[in-house]
Structure 1
Amino acid sequence: MFRSKRMAAVVAAVALGLTGCSAGGDASGDQSSETLTLGAILAPTTFDASQSEFANRAPFYQAVYDTLLRMEPDGTLVPMLATEWNYNEDKTVLTLKLRDDVKFTDGTGFNADAAKQNLERFKAGTSPDAQFLAALQTAEAVDATTLKLTLSAPDPAFLGYLSKDASFMQSPASFGNADIATNPVGSGPYVLDTAATVTGTSYSYKSNPDYWAKELRHYDNLVLNVYSDQTSLLNAIKSGTLNGANTIDNNTLTEIEAAGYKVNPLQLNWSGLLIFDRAGTTNPALKDVRVRQALNYAFDSKAMLESIGQGYGELTTQVFPPSSDAYDPSLDSRYAYDPAKAKALLAEAGYASGLTLELPSATLLGPTIPALITQQLKDVGITAQFTDVGNNFIADLLAPKFGVSYMILEQQSDWQLINMKLTPGAPWNPYNYKDPKVDELVNKIHLGTEDEQKSAGKELNKYIVEQAWFAPWYRPQSSFVTDAKTNVEVQTGNAYPSIWSFTPAS
């Protein structure tokens, strides 16, 4: 499912999580004697793995559930419960070899049949990410340590999904438990201490004494506390209660750094305009590529970054991230701020006297962003008319009720991005706009060799930038802060670092 992380925070008043650690607990073998205390603003809605989520809720589940594959901080996939894997020639059959020395905390052994059952439950479950397994046609336990997955069509993102919530492994013996939502039974590094846990407020975990990968566990105990607002989070940081935090924005970084914290930057999203109505269905002007290009030239992206993002971030005019094979550094500056060029393009398109754009707004968006957009567009002869849609911002966008909108969207992996933003049936292509050139390139990415995929990805990226499908301004910086006692490696493609990426600085 799509992740509009920052806008979700604005529209739904939901924030990113935070992390930290504090001393405590007893040493156990090679384990650190510390307790890792992490904070979050989003609590898990359930511990049933078939309904689990990732993103900011990932650490709640990673503590108790292992996955088939593991993603390193740089995005590289490495073995986890699966020790090796390979595709057939047309990439529709994936065979995985599994570990034979893993047990769930109820004593049930992990095997291929357990993996098969978990994947089938997740696909049929109610997780917002259930579509990760949309291509999974059948799962077969060939023997105890061999799992064969048959796909309805190649899915370039499928292996990545097996490192996320789609393959959280829960004991099949617990599927029917009455307390499945509050008492998880996995094979992960920790066991939830239900007696010390207050649902929705604080989650306490103890080490799993039989964990098979103790080198991935750097603390004896884990605590995840849930904070309800940014003020209490900031106060906890400044008082030293927390050793780390994933900040909701960059407004308080000066105060946080003054308190002795290190800023660990990462980029998860891009910010700018979505230009949905490329066929001119509701606004004929948007059908003309010159009008869409004019929208790109109209904005002083550097000023927007300073005003909205406090200068934290990088300017761009492309939606593919630097971690992507499709990324082209030259496209970050394809549309330098040039209001004269914008006016000339509008005149060429027949709109020398101007045009009007209708855009959605919401109270929680605040007055600054609409005011800046209005002024920048006015400078090139475009009138912006904002309508307050209240709590229906996302719903009205995807209905669709607006051809253009301000938005912050996640920079996903290439295949996810394509299927969420570019294909005719993509949820963030609500007018179902279709372009034969895009379809051709997407097909090459879908079915081609690795080299063909990379080449087609770069060509696709350049094409949608030239066709001005979007008008990005910048990639805002997300900031994960840590104190001198804690080291962390931020995670490519996710707001929250993996729990094994936290280590004591000493």
Structure 2
Amino acid sequence: MNKAIAAAGAALLLAAATGCSAKSTSGSTGSDTSLVVGMNGTVQSLNPVKNGQSAVLVYLYDPLIYQSADGKFVADLATSWRYVGADHKTFELKLRTDATFADGTTLNATAVKKSIDYFLDTPNTNSSAVGPISKVDAVDDDTVRVHYSSAYPNAVSSLTQFYGLGMVIGPDGLKTPSSLDTTPDGVGQYKLNTGSTVSNSVYTYDANEAYFRPTAVRFKTVQVKVLPDNNARLAALKSGQIDYAVQLPLAQLGSKAAGDRRVLKSPSTWMVFFFANRASGPLAEPDVRKALNHAIDRKSLATGLYGGYALAQDQFSPTGAKGYDSDLGGTYSFDTAEAKSLLAKAGYADGLKIKVLDNGTVDPNGLLGAALKQQLAKVGVTVDLKVFNGPFNQFTTELTSNKYDAYVWNMFSQDMYTAANLYFAGSGMLNTYKLSDTGADALIDKAATSSAADSTAAYQALNRYLTDNAWGAPVVTRLNTDVVSQDITVPVSNPVTPAVDPVAPQPELAWSPGRTR
């Protein structure tokens, strides 16, 4: 997350001042190893509720459930989990009994309940992504039940390291929540070295000798340098001052910038041209919506606009996500002749005009919006494009003014259920015209209550419905690019999760000193 841009020279001066990494010459774990990370963005707090996805937190707070880079859910502070009943309204976790917080207290169900309650009571950016939690019960010392007011199928993913909810805060930390900004209190593989830490500049962590699985701790120390400027992170990587550059945008910097270092490509968000006003005007016609899909050259946008760090996509679930259907691939091939034919069939042989809103933060400088405008013009569609640059709340006010037929925005790469509720359900926040469709609502509800065995088919049915009815035009899945030194071993070379974490509760999933495979 790039929230601030610092001068490259100042960032490099910081990197030089904090020193270089100390690698093990033998390539094995031991007392002589360290990992140095250059993170993007800035650090607002060390409180996981306030800063739930920051690269500084994963070393200090283990989650209840860990999601590995290959997308699998792995036992961490919770050893097992299940839904109680078929309605997906109660989710039960069994906790490990050998984990201790930084404050020295033992992990138990009461501590987990208090931590989740604190998350729910504290305004934060992830609160809308963890489901409609109504209450949390500590059933016994090692059993927790999370109750939802309505069916919620994403309990497992909501309790991973990506949303803050699953990062359990210790009892002492919760006594004085303001202390959590600078003093972490989690069950983590590392402890904060306050003497070698400068807030929002460099964070130093020492291995936690009390961690419940010592073999998973692969480095003696980890240092995270805050380097929001892309060029500064790249320079620090090339000079050997960092081992790992978080989300280095090679689409802008060029593929050769990484040199011979390992580039980890992981799905980020997928960019979608949403057809908002399907109730009146030209987009009320299904053939018009399908024509616009055929008019888009997705492959040229993936390579030209995103430098090859994107995947062309024409369905509402990306490759690797639950709901993806290989049979839908190519539904809307690039075909201007077919686009013109469909427009003529819908009564628009002489062309049409639509108003489109583009978000300049999600689509930097409105480049995708401009490219879509250019491509659609070739089939007789005139786009009146407005690129909005401003805070999200102001953007949503403009978006919900219902002055626009369509808008350019992104969807979450792995979570089709949340996305469908946000954009397509009758009450969805970004369903700007509040259009209700009984077919879509029924499929969303079915996906929410399907068993694990049936959920893939349920999501595929929802994906097919949205794609066949052309409720929008998915364009590309953007890829995050993380760059890692060849001196570090990375077990998963093709991540499917949006973020890549060097630490893991299982040693075979954790990064370690030594050359990458």
Q: TM-score, normalised by structure 1?
A: 0.88
Q: CA offset at residue 372 of structure 1? A: 2.5
Cα distance in 2 for residues equivalent to 1:97 and 1:495: 26
Cα distance in 1 for residues equivalent to 2:283 and 2:203: 50
Matched, 1:494 2:495: no
SS in structure 2 opposite 1:269?
strand
Q: Which residue of 1 aligns with 2:326?
A: 329
Cα distance in 2 for residues equivalent to 1:491 and 1:166: 22
**Matched AA of 2:307:** Q
Q: Is the 8 A contact 1:26 1:220 kept in 2?
A: no
Q: Which residue of 1 aligns with 2:477?
A: 475
Q: Which residue of 2 aligns with 1:89?
A: 85
Matched, 1:464 2:466: yes
Matched, 1:23 2:19: no
Equivalent residues in 2 for 1:211-360 (5 A)?
211-245=211-245, 246-258=247-259, 260-280=260-280, 284-360=281-357
- 1:378-431 alpha-carbon deviations (Å, 9 max, x no partner): 111111122243325743335555332233433132322322333222333222
Gaps of 5+ in 1: none
Which deviates the most, 170-179 or 336-345?
170-179
Cα distance in 1 for residues equivalent to 2:444 and 2:299: 32
Q: CA offset at residue 74 of structure 1? A: 1.9
How many aligned positions are there?
A: 486
Change in 2 beyond 3 A, CA 1:249/1:187? same
Which deviates the most, 33-42 or 403-412?
403-412
Pick from 115, 119, 131 the counterpart of residue 116 of structure 2. Answer: 119
Q: Is the 8 A contact 2:138 2:144 kept in 1?
A: yes
Which deviates the most, 36-45 or 459-468?
36-45
Q: Which residue of 2 aligns with 1:404?
A: 406
Q: CA offset at residue 212 of structure 1? A: 0.9
Q: Which residue of 2 aligns with 1:138?
A: 135
Q: Is the 8 A contact 1:53 1:129 kept in 2?
A: yes
Cα distance in 1 for residues equivalent to 2:350 and 2:331: 26
SS in structure 2 opposite 1:50?
coil
Gaps of 5+ in 2: 7-18, 505-509
Q: Is the 8 A contact 1:316 1:331 kept in 2?
A: no
Q: Is the 8 A contact 1:124 1:130 kept in 2?
A: no
Q: Which residue of 1 aligns with 2:76?
A: 80
Change in 2 beyond 3 A, CA 1:368/1:128? closer
Q: Is the 8 A contact 1:123 1:131 kept in 2?
A: no
Q: Which residue of 2 aligns with 1:374?
A: 373
**Matched AA of 2:155:** F
Q: CA offset at residue 452 of structure 1? A: 3.6
**Matched AA of 2:317:** F
- 1:63-83 alpha-carbon deviations (Å, 9 max, x no partner): 111221111222221211112
Cα distance in 2 for residues equivalent to 1:505 and 1:105: 29
Q: Is the 8 A contact 1:203 1:223 kept in 2?
A: yes
Matched, 1:69 2:65: yes
SS in structure 1 opposite 2:175?
coil
Cα distance in 2 for residues equivalent to 1:139 and 1:47: 24
Pick from 150, 155, 161 the counterpart of residue 152 of structure 2. Answer: 155
TM-align CA RMSD: 2.8
Change in 2 beyond 3 A, CA 1:36/1:370? same
Cα distance in 2 for residues equivalent to 1:272 and 1:470: 7
Cα distance in 2 for residues equivalent to 1:363 and 1:472: 18
Q: CA offset at residue 433 of structure 1? A: 2.3
Q: CA offset at residue 102 of structure 1? A: 1.6
Q: CA offset at residue 208 of structure 1? A: 1.5
- 1:316-340 alpha-carbon deviations (Å, 9 max, x no partner): 2012122223111232311111112
Q: CA offset at residue 467 of structure 1? A: 0.9
Q: Is the 8 A contact 1:123 1:133 kept in 2?
A: no
Q: Which residue of 2 aligns with 1:505?
A: 514
Q: Which residue of 2 aligns with 1:454?
A: 456
SS in structure 2 opposite 1:49?
coil
Q: CA offset at residue 361 of structure 1? A: 4.7
Q: Identity over the aligned pairs, expressed in percent?
A: 26
Q: TM-score, normalised by structure 2?
A: 0.86
Cα distance in 1 for residues equivalent to 2:94 and 2:383: 57
SS in structure 2 opposite 1:326?
coil
Change in 2 beyond 3 A, CA 1:478/1:150? closer
Matched, 1:422 2:419: no
Q: CA offset at residue 252 of structure 1? A: 2.6
SS in structure 2 opposite 1:167?
coil
SS in structure 2 opposite 1:101?
coil
Cα distance in 2 for residues equivalent to 1:99 and 1:257: 41
Change in 2 beyond 3 A, CA 1:127/1:215? farther
Q: Which residue of 1 aligns with 2:435?
A: 433
Q: Which residue of 2 aligns with 1:172?
A: 171
SS in structure 1 opposite 2:420?
helix
**Matched AA of 1:225:** K
SS in structure 2 opposite 1:391?
coil
Cα distance in 2 for residues equivalent to 1:367 and 1:414: 25
- 1:163-195 alpha-carbon deviations (Å, 9 max, x no partner): 131121111112233522111111211111222
Change in 2 beyond 3 A, CA 1:121/1:167? same
Q: Is the 8 A contact 1:133 1:166 kept in 2?
A: yes
**Matched AA of 2:175:** G
Cα distance in 2 for residues equivalent to 1:476 and 1:403: 24
